[in-house]
Amino acid sequence: MVAGNWKMNTTVDEGVALARAVCAAVAATRRVDVAVLPPFTHLWAVRPVLEGTGVRLGAQDVFWKDSGAFTGEISPAMLAGWCDMTLVGHSERRHLFGERDDEVGKKFVASLAHGLQVILAVGETSEERDDGRTFDVVDRQLDAVFAELDGPPAVDAWVIAYEPVWAIGTGRTATPEQAQDVVAHIKQHVRARFLDGVPRVLYGGSVTPANAAALFAERDIDGALVGGVSLRAEEFGVIVGAAETAASARDTV
């Protein structure tokens, strides 16, 4: 899977044009699940552009209540039925907007309850990594979500994105070995809890056409959550192409 998180970029018109360009750039894709995550204001306008292309639509965040006096928030009920997925727990939500682990868990559960697939982002800061606490931090972030669940989610209903905070928007990508190490740990942690219910795990943080293939060659990395480069359709298409090549290679092993 390769998902493009546009963050707070583009006007509605620019976003519609970008969505068209992305669809053209990934038209040859067969095996990779491609998604775009435009700002909320763009979702309704982008939806028809994606029709029939196989590219799926996601929201960058969601609130956990269905409706009510929550000024400025968007509920999963508002997205259900026409939007395919949500992203929860992105590090910018956690660190810039003070979102807590348990709130991320509530957003996760609310999305699933409305039939929306969820991408759950986890990852450590550079300080936490330097202190040797990377695994503890991702375990804590995952466990806070599991605490909100009654049982294991269907394996295709969720995706995890491992995004080291120090690699996001910094140009400082994790090495393929660093990313593989944490992604393998995440899968092990989920397996210990849900046995066969291990979802795909993506890597995110300064993924570019230059480093994508090496990341996707790692055994446990199942794709990417792309920020900055997702605003440039052709380069995003190159990353999707690298995932397509990696998926074919896995199939022939």
Nearest CB to ligand PGA, comparing residues 109 and 119? 119
**85 - beta bridge partners?**
58, 117
CB atoms within 10 A of CB 215: 27
Closest approach, Cβ 133 to ligand PGA, in A, equals 21
CB atoms within 10 A of CB 241: 19
210 binds ligand PGA (CB under 6 A): no
Angstrom distance (rounded) from CA 198 to CA 159: 9
Q: How many residues bind ligand PGA (CB under 6 A)?
A: 12
5 binds ligand PGA (CB under 6 A): yes
User: Which residues carry out catalysis?
Assistant: 90, 163
225 binds ligand PGA (CB under 6 A): yes
| H or E element in which residue 3 lies | strand 2-5
Among 58, 76, 164, 205, binds ligand PGA (CB under 6 A): 205
CB atoms within 10 A of CB 195: 9
| H or E element in which residue 243 lies | helix 233-252
Q: 144-163 mask for ligand PGA (x: CB under 6 A)?
A: -------------------x
Return the range that interacts with ligand PGA (CB under 6 A); candidates 42-50, 66-74, 222-230, 232-240: 222-230
Nearest CB to ligand PGA, comparing residues 38 and 69? 38
Q: 45-84 mask for ligand PGA (x: CB under 6 A)?
A: ----------------------------------------
207 binds ligand PGA (CB under 6 A): yes
Q: 98: alpha, beta or left, given left = phi > 0 and alpha = psi -120 to 50?
A: left
105 binds ligand PGA (CB under 6 A): no
Return the range that interacts with ligand PGA (CB under 6 A); candidates 16-24, 60-68, 76-84, 201-209: 201-209
| CB-based burial, 218-233: b 16+ in 10 Å, e otherwise | bebbbbbbbbbbbbbb
227 binds ligand PGA (CB under 6 A): yes
211 binds ligand PGA (CB under 6 A): no
Among 169, 192, 219, 234, binds ligand PGA (CB under 6 A): 169
The type of residue at 104 is V
Q: Are 83 and 115 in contact (CB under 8 A)?
A: no
User: E strands along 23-152, which residues?
Assistant: 34-37, 56-59, 85-88, 117-122
Residues that bind ligand PGA (CB under 6 A): 5, 163, 168-169, 204-207, 225-228
